[in-house]
Amino acid sequence: MFDLILRNCNLPDGRRGMDIGIRGGRIAVVEAALAGVAGESIDAAGQLVTPPFVDAHFHMDATLSYGLPRVNQSGTLLEGIALWGELKPLLTQEALVERALAYCDWAVAKGLLAIRSHVDVCDPRLLAVEALLHVKDKVRPYLDLQLVAFPQDGVLRSPGALDNLKRALDMGVDVVGGIPHFERTMADGAESVRILCELAAERGLPVDMHCDESDDPLSRHVETLAFHAQRLGLQGRVTGSHLTSMHSMDNYYVSKLLPLMAEAGVAAVANPLINITLQGRHDTYPKRRGMTRVPELLAAGIPVAFGHDCVMDPWYSLGSGDMLEVAAMGLHVAQMTSQDGMRACFAAVTATPARILGLDGYGLEPGCRADLVLLQAGDPVEALRLRATRLLVLRGGRIVARSPAAVATLNLPGRPSRVDFSHRT
């Protein structure tokens, strides 16, 4: 009757001891004590089963290039962009594909099955675009890769960038990107937002811009982004990524800005690992954290996702595709340590980015794709605390990755011989 039943699962919404019946690659039933036979049955033993992790913001064309051709000495965004500029002429399509596929292997092992990746369109050869479109096709059976046409050097500042961006969209890139704070002037930044939003409206595409990735409190391009989203009827299709300047903005101004973003249906993506690393570099002390105002955005009804942004590239030397690490950093930086706050941070790497990406069939409802992750944790908070091991990762009801449980063996007088760090209340 079922191809597979996962028994005794805890779910992210708090339901415990549920059985998930899977048929034809989709979830057929979710209920307690499910009757029926299955080709295979797996006992989840009261551990958390969640739809997969989703990364709303990544750069797959740069990933795993750390040290090529040198490392970032200052640790700043601007040296990272300069370093990427040095690397670009040396890129080959083979190397881009190989690194991206290697990262997708890591992602699957970590239960990360959907990624929105920006791809730089400022190289007229569009080498990275071709490479990532190839990768997108290749990984489709096990990972949803959505691509954003990203003019890294500025769509107005970099000669030919707008034409290249349009060519990338013609080739099948899914989303219109931008970087208004990197244009030559505030006025050019605002103009770039207008041009790119109009292009997206014309083509019926979503928008996801790097926006105000700066400690400058007067970097206010998100206001312009909200304005054009509203004007062009793009509600629900526009995302502002980073928004770090909001950390430093005047509080009165932010109290006006957040309702405008909510009204315009603009979503936000914070990148906690990268924001805490790159921002505040010009400060002495006190040193700003630089992450956008996550709890305040959420309170205003604005969807907020967390992205990984970078793994071992010109901007960031660490990372492993672990969205629980991203969410754990986010909850610390935003001080979202209440139970509700931590659950919102778990949602920021699962259900919320799934909505922002418009993923089809994501979730635990009957009819959803049987894309699931069994974690070595009892609930989302324990998963965050432990950066829990992904015991099983399923795509369309098929196991695509498994990891052994994290257990230590002890040799102590009068103490248990085994410790797994669980502490369930």
Contacts with Fe ion, residue ranges (CB under 5 A): 309
3-class DSSP assignment, residue 316: coil
Give least dist CB 370 to Fe ion, A: 31
Secondary structure class of 117 (helix, strand, coil)? strand
Nearest-approach distance from CB 209 to Fe ion, in angstroms: 10
Which CB, 309 or 382, lies closer to Fe ion?
309
213 an active-site residue?
Answer: yes
Token digits of residue 97: 């594909």
Question: Which residue number, 50 or 63, has a Cβ lying nearer to Fe ion?
Answer: 63
Instruction: Quote the CA–CA distance of 210 and 239 in Å, as a whole number.
Output: 9
List of residues 6+ apart from 13 with CB closer than 8 A: 364
State both tokens at 90.
């040396």
Ranked by CB distance to Fe ion, the top (closest) residue is 309
Q: Tell me how far apart the alpha carbons of residues 171 and 161 are, in angstroms, rounded to a whole number.
A: 15
Q: How far is the CB of 182 from Fe ion (least distance, A)?
A: 11
Distance CA 247, CA 419 (A): 41
CA atoms within 13 A on the CB side of 124: 4
CB 143 within 8 A of CB 117: no
Residue 2 Cβ, how far from Fe ion at the closest point, in Å?
Answer: 41
Nearer residue to Fe ion within complex by CB, 88 or 369: 88
Q: What is the DSSP string of 52-93?
A: PEEEEEE-TTTTT-TTSS---SS--HHHHHHHHHHHGGG--H
Torsion of CA 27, 30, 35, 40, to 10 degrees: 40
Catalytic residue among 94, 191, 213, 382: 213
H or E segment to which residue 97 belongs: helix 93-109
Q: Which is nearer to Fe ion, 303 or 307 (CB)?
A: 307
Show the CA angle centred on residue 286, arms to residues 281 and 289, nearest 5°: 55
Report d(CA 388, CA 275) in Å as an integer.
Answer: 23
The residue (of 150 and 362) whose beta carbon lies closer to Fe ion is: 150
Nearer to Fe ion, 309 or 325 (CB): 309
* Residue 223: CB minimum distance to Fe ion, A: 20
Give min distance, CB of 150 to Fe ion, in A: 8
Nearer to Fe ion, 309 or 322 (CB): 309
End-to-end CA gap in the chain:
35
Sheet of 53-58, strands arranged across: 53-58, 112-120, 144-150, 175-176, 207-211, 238-242, 266-270, 304-306
Nearest approach, Cβ of 35 to Fe ion (angstroms)? Answer: 48
Q: Which amino acid is at 316?
A: Y
For the annotated catalytic residues, the residue numbers are: 213
